[in-house]
Amino acid sequence: MIEPYDDTYFMKRALQEAEEAYEQGEIPIGAVIVANNQIIARAHNLTETLNDVTAHAEMQAITSAASFLGGKYLQKCTLYVTIEPCQMCAGALYWSQISNIVYGARDEQRGCIEMGTKLHPKTGMKGGVLAEECSQLLKKFFVEKRNLN
Amino acid sequence: MIEPYDDTYFMKRALQEAEEAYEQGEIPIGAVIVANNQIIARAHNLTETLNDVTAHAEMQAITSAASFLGGKYLQKCTLYVTIEPCQMCAGALYWSQISNIVYGARDEQRGCIEMGTKLHPKTGMKGGVLAEECSQLLKKFFVEKRNLN
């Protein structure tokens, strides 16, 4: 049987969010949070629009998912995010006790792995889902930004 | 000459925020952000009220200060917070490029020092300002909470 709701399916939804960010001139990173194969939150980076360094895709998705669930813990939820979370977002995910984090491309400079951020013991993390697409969108953004300046 | 606007002065303002949190049944942690000896943001923990693990005092103060300044970087600002920031908040402070972090009491379990969170190279941090008062308020909260349950 083909499972329509696999990691690739949900990462594509996160990528759609990243593309929306791209269209708005934001660093193109997108995220969705899934519970029982249902997307309960979707968000993209809004740091420029909101003038706020805390407005990463994951932060907004965490707030939105908690609002949907009516409780602040995201146990039994999975976050799909196009780029490996940073220290701040991994720290927020720690508090949320989310079950799973699935990211697309690594952030080898400022991602939580390189930075050594601790995840909650209940949280699993894996990466590499549509990594090339996720990474390419980010690269395209920065190349264009560099050419504009 | 007596300097009225010293670390103790601003930490007292952060403690007032923590006391407001306490009155609202929130974990009593408060923060203010100061630029040119002026408080430009004040906030306290609102995780219960907002049902949101990201609603730490520091996170809200960062957002609020950026809104006041009309720009997302907090260079030349100092954050005063009653308890050492966690990974999430230290991660957000990293992105904000804030000049200084002054905390009251250590959080030896889940504070950014124990967790090894990286601060921005432009950011200095010191602790121990009114540490006893900051710590006592937190202890009082948890003792009362334990006795209620």
Instruction: Using an 8 Å CB-CB cutoff, list chain B residues near A66.
Output: 51-53
Q: Does B76 touch chain A (CB under 8 A)?
A: no
Is A71 close to B51, i.e. CB distance below 8 A?
yes
For residue A81, what is the domain's CATH number? Answer: 3.40.140.10
Q: Does A34 touch chain B (CB under 8 A)?
A: no
Q: With beta carbons less than 8 A apart as the criterion, state whether B39 and B48 touch.
A: no
Q: Does A62 touch chain B (CB under 8 A)?
A: yes
Q: Provide the CA A145 distance to its chain's centre, in angstroms.
A: 22
What residues of B are designated binding site for Zn(2+)?
56, 86, 89
Domain extent for A123: 7-143
Q: Which residues of B81-119 are buried (b: 16+ CB within 10 A; e: fewer)?
A: bbbbbbbbbbbbbbbbbbbbbbbbbbbeebbbbebebbb
> What residue type is B59 in one-letter code?
M
Is A51 close to B70, i.e. CB distance below 8 A?
yes
Which structure tokens are listed for A35? 């519970």
Q: With beta carbons less than 8 A apart as the criterion, state whether A50 and A20 touch.
A: no
The predicted pLDDT at position A1 comes to 64
A50 assigned to some structural domain: yes
Report the domain count for chain A.
Answer: 1
Whether the pLDDT of residue B114 is over 70: the answer is yes
The residue whose two tokens read 């941090």 is: B125
pLDDT 10s digits, A89-145: 999 999 999 999 999 999 999 999 999 999 999 999 999 999 999 999 999 999 998
> ipTM of this model?
0.95
Instruction: Using an 8 Å CB-CB cutoff, list chain B residues near A116.
Output: 116, 118
A60 assigned to some structural domain: yes
B148 assigned to some structural domain: no
Closest in B53, B67, B72 to A47, CB measured:
B72
A2 assigned to some structural domain: no
Output Rg (C-alpha) for chain A, integer angstroms: 14
B89 assigned to some structural domain: yes
A124-126 and A100-105: which strand pairing?
parallel
Closest in A47, A71, A91 to B91, CB measured:
A91
Q: Does B121 touch chain A (CB under 8 A)?
A: no
pLDDT 10s digits, A65-96: 999 999 999 999 999 999 999 999 999 999 99
Per-residue pLDDT, averaged over B61-89, amounts to 97
In this structure, what are the phi and psi dihedrals at residue B26, rounded to the nearest 5 degrees?
-95, 150
Local confidence band at B1 (pLDDT 50, 70, 90 cut-offs) = low
Q: With beta carbons less than 8 A apart as the criterion, state whether B126 and B79 touch.
A: no
The nearest alpha carbon in chain A to B51 belongs to A72
The predicted pLDDT at position B148 comes to 80
CA distance A86 to A110: 6
